[in-house]
Amino acid sequence: MIEKNIPVAIRMDPLFPRSIEGCPEYQSLKEDLQPLVSWAAQTGVSYVISSPLKLVYRRNTVSWFNRSIIEGFSEVRRNYRRMAQDLQKKLFSDAQDLCRHHGLSLEHCFDNILKRNEGFVT
């Protein structure tokens, strides 16, 4: 695809919370995301798609994980527990800066879905 000049995106999902007291950091910007974005830029990927982690608001088979991370998910909207807006913006901004540093743009998955479906009529 890349060789034929067809734009290729990678999905870097989800962005895990950081810097929350009592919440383990399962993902490091430097150790986890930076090598992936660097590789993507070197291989010719056009852009990155991502979004912050959200937890399904119901009983879950990974309850140990939910218990370890629940402190970071203060908002409940629809069927999901979500991180506070300021934390989501910070995570996305950090990832955007990282992508920009490597010459890539970062799109939120929701924005990407809307863009892909422009003009789609059901």
Query: Nearest 5 degrees, angle CA 108-CA 111-CA 113?
Result: 110
Phi-psi region for residue 22, left (φ > 0), alpha (ψ -120 to 50) or beta? left
First to last CA, the chain: 29
> Is the full-model pTM beyond 0.85?
no
Structure tokens that stand for 117 in this block: 């479906």
CA distance 23 to 68: 6
* Model pLDDT for residues 14-65, shown as the tens digit of each residue: 998 888 777 778 899 999 999 999 999 999 999 999 999 888 766 655 666 7
pLDDT the model gives residue 98:
97
